[in-house]
Chains A and B, each alone.
Chain A
Amino acid sequence: MSAKTLYEKIWDEHVVASPEGEPTLLYIDLHLIHEVTSPQAFDGLRLNGRGVRRPDRTLATADHNVPTDPLSTPILDPISRRQLEALNENCKEFGITVFPRGHENQGIVHIIGPELGVTQPGMTIVCGDSHTSTHGAFGALAFGIGTSEVEHVLATQTLPQQKAKTMAVTVEGTPSPGVSAKDIVLAIVGRLGTGGGAGYVIEYRGQAIQELSMEGRMTVCNMSIEAGARAGLVAVDETTIEYLRGRPGVAQGDAYDATANRWRTLVSDDDAVFDAEITLNAADLVPYVTWGTNPAQVVALDGVVPSPDDALDDDEKDTVLRALEYMGLTPGTKLRSIPVDVVFIGSCTNSRIEDLRAAASVAKGSRVHDNVRALVVPGSHRVKRQAEQEGLDTVFIEAGFEWREPGCSMCLGMNPDQLKPGQRSASTSNRNFEGRQGRGGRTHLVSPVVAAATAIMGRFASPDEVTS
């Protein structure tokens, strides 16, 4: 038998049918849904008199729309409220487990799957959300789909799929202290560009990836889509297995060891061949900040705003000029001199317990700058409870951060957490697109520690600049 990549192994295990001249029909082990991309899919089922094939392989949570105000506050936006109600009604009608606002297990869909242990190695996982790539950190093939495909999976538990190409992204060596998983993935996206991963499933490899915690691996896989790749993968190892041990979704007790042994085979074979390979050296990596309006527009925190004159061609020059204008930036300006109005710590990229611990370690004993509004939005109620047990909420609140209820929040501003026109944010989220965090808002993507330091200094800063 020829050597296989991890992607090919998972793919081969899920082929329901591969008819000549047609896409492969792939089985989906886990379908995660949320309120935004599902209502039209449920309507489609009703219109066609179809049911949900496997409600027991479908899990729903409210996340995109939920306010992060105290749970006693009503949802004032009637359209948001209606959409959240529709999710609950649809799940009730079709027998799907749902975590509504305030439920003990509610949170961002890509946070709750892993923390509940329902995200597992070797699975195929889909969700109507492009950051579904997050779950690839567990050696699962996980990718985002549109609403028509959500309807397809609800009805059939399968998806017709064309096989992707494979890309190995290897990060060799160990990064310097202060360089986080977020910086690793910003470097990768900067290197590949927003389209460099299109058509590929990326497998992240190398010492720097192996040394990451599961939280860090999720941060890396999360942003695969920002390089155009629908899925990112990390091979299973003991870090994966220890993270999942004892979680509600996995086999309990001794039975877990048999499961874990099966999962240990979920690695690319030594002599497997990838369609493309790139290598980064961890020693070259530094803390990064995005300066523009797409996530590949990355510069070192120590660097300056780039000039359109450095562009490779006219097309890129236009893109740079447009981004500079939108962002209100002048080429040559030091990043560390740029003031920010809002700091957002949250999102499916960076709202896990480890992210909050990292940010809190910087915030402890300091004060948020007078000109800054700083929000901390835990990824889920489980993360929030854990953080509160560790006293992180007190650290943040005493430093002047807002400690909020879980949800997608200001990552995409579908709830009331939005930037005002012209406001500049340092955000631990994944997209700096025009208007993403609110109409006219200017987003810079950073790691949790840079976000916390920036909140305190009132301008882009690293933790070493924060003096208690």
Chain B
Amino acid sequence: MKAVHVIEGRAVPLERSDVDTDQIIPSEWLKRVERTGFGRGLFSEWRDDPTFVLNDAQFAGATILLAGPRFGTGSSREHAVWALMDYGFQAVIAPSFGDIFRNNSSKQGLVIVQLDSSDVEELNQLVKDDPSRLIVVDVERLSVEVPAVGWQRSFILDPMTRERLLGGWDDIGLSLLRGDAITKFEATSVAPSLKGVFDKDGHTLYA
């Protein structure tokens, strides 16, 4: 994961609530075994509609998505995060998020900014008034700003997610450092292994 400190860019207002991960990336895109190229599938069922906000030229190139409440609920597909990032988004600002989506985002460096709905609505209005307005999401200071109009809000990230974003850390590498503790735990674990349940071809040995 690449380190993320400050995201400075234009924003696009989605203005829809309950956008689940099936809307972000429909299942037909989930058959691929690659991790790249999902941007084309982003919101693909809505992109045919010329009035859909992502087709509005004045928002082209935006790197911050302004979304409604409960963004990213539903399926655990990390493809939703890959699609948003492949399309060019680096942060999503919304009043609330699906838990698994939030986790997945933190693993990829997509910054999740949770603000009150009234603040998100103010931001929607600010960018609709002037789509060229720059928004600054600062992971170090945990703030969102629209410098042109002096608008500023703070947001909360759990300390570990913030550290990992700033450091671009590899979670797995960190956990592997605890290999001894894992081995020690396993020595006392009561949960059975699958050895003794299946043969090498996956047939069960009992029942």
**Chain A interface residues (CB < 8 Å from chain B):** 16-17, 21-23, 25, 27, 29-30, 36-37, 39-40, 43, 48, 50, 53-54, 56-59, 64-65, 77, 79-80, 82-83, 86, 97-99, 103-105, 116-118, 120, 122-123, 128-130, 144-149, 151-152, 155-158, 160, 162, 194-195, 198-199, 225-226, 228, 230, 246-249, 251-252, 262, 293-294, 315, 318-319, 322, 412-414, 431, 433-436, 439
- A146 to B107, Cβ gap below 8 A? yes
- B31 to A59, Cβ gap below 8 A? no
- A16 to B74, Cβ gap below 8 A? no
User: Assuming A43-B35, A155-B176, is B158 touching A248 (CB within 8 A)?
Assistant: no
Question: Number of A-B pairs whose CB atoms are under 8 Å?
Answer: 210
- B99 to A158, Cβ gap below 8 A? no
Which of B27, B28, B96, B159 is close to A195, meaning CB atoms less than 8 Å apart?
B96
User: Assuming A54-B193, A65-B31, A99-B202, is B171 touching A37 (CB within 8 A)?
Assistant: no
* Residue B57 is within 8 A (CB to CB) of chain A in the complex: no
Complex CA distance for A436 and B99, rounded to whole angstroms: 20
**Chain B interface residues (CB < 8 Å from chain A):** 16-18, 20, 22-23, 26-28, 30-35, 45, 68-70, 73-79, 81, 96, 98-100, 103-104, 107-108, 117, 158-160, 171-172, 174-176, 178-179, 181-182, 185-186, 189-195, 197-198, 202-207
- A83 to B76, Cβ gap below 8 A? no
| Distance of B97 from chain A, by nearest CB (Å) | 8
Which of A152, A322, A414, A431 is close to B30, meaning CB atoms less than 8 Å apart?
A414
| Distance of A15 from chain B, by nearest CB (Å) | 8
- A414 to B28, Cβ gap below 8 A? yes
Complex CA distance for A412 and B20, rounded to whole angstroms: 13
Complex CA distance for A450 and B99, rounded to whole angstroms: 32
- A152 to B175, Cβ gap below 8 A? yes
| Distance of A389 from chain B, by nearest CB (Å) | 15
- B20 to A294, Cβ gap below 8 A? yes
| Distance of A91 from chain B, by nearest CB (Å) | 9
Which of B31, B108, B193 is close to A36, meaning CB atoms less than 8 Å apart?
B31
Which of B73, B75, B175 is close to A160, meaning CB atoms less than 8 Å apart?
B175
User: Assuming A412-B27, A414-B31, is B96 touching A105 (CB within 8 A)?
Assistant: no
Complex CA distance for A155 and B17, rounded to whole angstroms: 36
Smallest CB gap from B20: residue in A: A433
Complex CA distance for A319 and B19, rounded to whole angstroms: 10
Complex CA distance for A414 and B193, rounded to whole angstroms: 32
Residues of B within 8 A of A434 (CB): 22-23, 45
- A248 to B197, Cβ gap below 8 A? yes
Complex CA distance for A294 and B74, rounded to whole angstroms: 9
- B30 to A17, Cβ gap below 8 A? no
- B191 to A79, Cβ gap below 8 A? no
User: Assuming A145-B76, A155-B172, is B31 touching A79 (CB within 8 A)?
Assistant: yes
User: Assuming A146-B81, A319-B17, is B175 touching A158 (CB within 8 A)?
Assistant: yes
